[in-house]
Amino acid sequence: MQTHFTEEDLKKPHIREADRVLRSCVHCGFCNATCPTYQLLGDERDGPRGRIYLMKEMLEAPEGSDKVTEETRLHLDRCLTCRNCETTCPSGVEYHKLLDIGRAEIERRVPRRPAERAQRYALRKMLVEPKRFQALLRLGQTFRPLVPGALRDKLPPAPIDAGKRPDGQRHARRMLILEGCVQPGLSPNTNAATARVLDRLGIGLTPVAEAGCCGAIDFHL
């Protein structure tokens, strides 16, 4: 793909990196075949090829350009960052690196409205603390009939009973397991079932309570 960055632009490390990734794309569209959002919405701008063009247009546009809008951000927001597109790209385009650059740039150029910023701040604080998240989740499930429709539909039902975990210290072979931030509240049976399966194979699981936050939620928001 041909790019049109100025010499001044290319002095910036993130633009140099974006230029490298953009030039590796041949616009074949194989990526759209494995993109979940393109398959669901059928909009070129909601597939990797379209998003690459949106980011190219944004990065080449001068500051204050009317080409960079909230709609541009919407299509970048819809990307799940699953990187499935990279598995079918014959040119080896490092889409995720370009997306990281594009998202940082759109946040700078088109700041979010206060309500959106407040919502994202709340998600950062709520989701990464398991005990806080579980308490709020139980509260929401208890008062589900009173919750507004759109939010009520997003509240999951109470999880399946996790059952008893086997003692992970009684085996010579052991593995560490990260409990996660939302999984203990949404699906506690997942890790418990994993522990029982591995126990039958003679492997003990040791939870790492002090692991802390991996940063994924903050990064993707």
Q: What is the CATH number of the domain that holds 59?
A: 1.10.1060.10
pLDDT score for 181: 87
- Within a domain: 13: yes
86 and 101 part of one domain: yes
Q: Are residues 65 and 99 in the same domain?
A: yes
- Whose structure tokens read 């939870």? 207
Q: Is residue 38 one of the residues assigned to a domain?
A: yes
Cβ–Cβ < 8 Å for 101, 17: yes
Same domain for 119 and 105: no
Instruction: Provide the pLDDT for residue 195.
Output: 94
Q: For 59-74, how does the pLDDT look when each residue is reduced to its tens digit (9 = 90+)?
A: 999 988 888 999 999 9
Residue 128: φ, ψ to 5°: -85, -5
- The tens digit of pLDDT for each residue in 145-165 reads 888 878 888 888 888 888 888
60, 76: one domain: yes
Nearest to 46 by CA among 79, 86, 1: 79
Q: If we measure between CA atoms, which residue out of 207, 170, 202 comes closest to residue 191? A: 207
Residues 65 and 132 reside in one and the same domain:
no
Q: Are residues 16 and 94 part of one domain?
A: yes
Question: What pLDDT is recorded for position 144?
Answer: 85
Same domain, 17 and 103: yes
Q: Are residues 118 and 78 in the same domain?
A: no
- Predicted pLDDT at 60: 95
Give the domain extent around 38: 9-109
Same-domain pairing of 92 and 33: yes
Do 124 and 88 share a domain, yes or no?
Answer: no
Q: What is the mean pLDDT of residues 34-46?
A: 96
pLDDT higher than threshold 90 for residue 174: yes
Domain assignment of residue 99, yes or no: yes
Last residue of a domain, one of 109, 136, 167: 109
Task: Answer yes or no: pTM beyond 0.85.
Answer: no
Examine the domain organization and report whether 56 and 92 are in the same domain: yes
How many domains is the chain built from?
A: 2
Among 78, 87, 81, 96, smallest CA distance to 21 is for: 96
How far apart CA 105 and CA 55 sit, in angstroms, is 9
